[in-house]
């Protein structure tokens, strides 16, 4: 199976299938995908996403402001596909913790802080994937930060080993320069990227190691985290039944 899906309008659309789990199973291919922005998909891309990949649920992790600044979003108007706007952070600065305001935060620290703030949308994302009638894809702008956080939690809940989760995160490095260049040429994202601290524009393994360590330290495990966030055990059972198979 091809992990990276070749699309004209998306540079980081990847299948999470094939990853092994602790109990000897593996993630099913063509059931859940992670991606960067999907607002530039061509008509050919849309046909492939709907008809070849059988995507039925699209989860947009971006803010309301990002969606408003987009060109027309092609997947919003496609039969058989439901688009869910589930922003991990929607610009409410009153919710920022003292830790999030610190100028000494690493990118891993920022991820851990966002995990704490975004429990409700992360739980909703897990529920949508668990209940999807076909394949599901979740995405942000670059497919690295917000998408990387959701991927780490989802794969952790499925029992994928930490070193595999780290490798999946770091795979974004392969196309990161091109992704950033495209965003810099997209209205709205050029100023947003210019305001980000320089140490956030990377996808190093150490960042994901730090996030996984932070989740373990503060919540116990990814399963404990999603339960605390509101994901019910029956949803976790549906998630595993739908996404896992015997290796």
- pLDDT per residue over 34-66, tens digit each? 999 999 999 999 999 999 999 999 999 999 988
Which stretch of 61-75, 88-102, 108-122, 159-173 has the lowest confidence by average pLDDT?
Answer: 88-102
Angle between helices 222-229 and 205-219 (to 10 degrees): 60
Give me the pLDDT at residue 197, please.
Answer: 73
The DSSP element (H or E) to which 58 belongs, if any, is strand 55-60
Q: State the DSSP code for 129.
A: H
Count, in order, helices (H) and strands (E) of the chain: 12, 7
Whether the predicted model's global pTM rises above the 0.85 cut? yes
- Alpha-carbon distances, residue 171 vs 69, 72, 111, 113 (angstroms): 28, 29, 18, 23
pLDDT of 112 > 90? The answer is: yes
Looking at residue 196, its pLDDT comes to 72
* pLDDT band of 17, cuts 50, 70, 90: very high
Give the pLDDT mean for 226-240: 98
Flag whether pLDDT at 125 surpasses 80: yes
Asked whether residue 214 carries a pLDDT value surpassing 50, the answer given is yes
pLDDT tens-digit map of 132-171: 999 999 999 999 999 999 999 999 999 999 999 999 999 9
Q: How confident is the model at residue 194 (pLDDT cuts 50, 70, 90)?
A: low
Question: What phi and psi, each to the nearest 5 degrees, are found at residue 156?
Answer: -65, -45
Share of the chain above pLDDT 70, in %: 92
Q: Taking the C-alpha atoms of 229, 230, 233 and 235 in order, what is their torsion angle to the nearest 10 degrees?
A: -100
The pLDDT of residue 77 is above 70: yes
- Name the region of 60 (left: φ>0; alpha: ψ -120 to 50; beta: rest): beta
The CATH architecture to which 14-90+107-241 belongs is Alpha-Beta Complex (3.90)
Name every residue whose Cβ is closer than 8 Å to that of residue 35 and which is 6 or more positions away in sequence. Answer: 10, 12, 13, 14, 137, 138, 139, 143, 147
Range 237-242 average pLDDT: 98
Q: Tokens representing 51?
A: 């008809």
Place of tokens 């709907």: 50
> CA distances (Å), 50 to each of 5, 37, 44, 55, 242, in order?
13, 16, 10, 5, 19
Asked if residue 150 lies in contact with residue 62, where contact means CB atoms within 8 angstroms, the answer is: no
> Angle at CA 111, nearest 5°, toward 88 and 109?
145
Calculate Rg over the CA atoms of the chain.
Answer: 17
Q: Are 89 and 114 in contact (CB under 8 A)?
A: yes
């Amino acid at each position: 199976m091809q992990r990276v899906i070749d699309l004209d309008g998306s540079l980081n659309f990847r299948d999470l299938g094939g990853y092994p789990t602790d109990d000897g199973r593996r993630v099913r291919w063509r059931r859940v995908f992670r991606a960067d922005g999907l607002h530039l998909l061509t008509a050919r891309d849309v046909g492939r996403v709907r008809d070849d990949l059988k995507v039925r649920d699209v989860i947009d992790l971006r803010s309301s402001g990002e969606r408003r600044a987009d060109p027309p979003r092609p997947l919003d108007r496609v039969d058989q596909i439901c688009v869910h706007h589930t922003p991990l952070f929607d610009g409410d600065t009153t919710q920022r913790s003292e830790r999030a305001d610190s100028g000494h935060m690493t990118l891993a620290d920022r991820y851990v802080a966002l995990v704490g703030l975004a429990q409700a949308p992360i739980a909703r994302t897990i529920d949508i994937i668990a209940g999807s009638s076909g394949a599901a894809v979740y995405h942000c702008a670059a497919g690295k930060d917000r998408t990387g956080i959701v991927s780490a939690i989802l794969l952790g809940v499925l029992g994928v080993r930490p070193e595999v989760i780290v490798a999946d995160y770091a795979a974004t490095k392969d196309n990161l320069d091109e992704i950033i260049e495209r965003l810099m040429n997209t209205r709205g994202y050029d100023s947003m990227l210019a305001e980000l601290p320089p140490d956030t524009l990377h996808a190093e393994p150490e960042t994901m190691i730090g996030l996984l360590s932070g989740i373990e330290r503060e919540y116990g495990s990814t399963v404990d985290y999603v339960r605390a966030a509101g994901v019910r055990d029956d949803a976790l059972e549906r998630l595993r039944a739908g996404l896992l198979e015997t290796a």
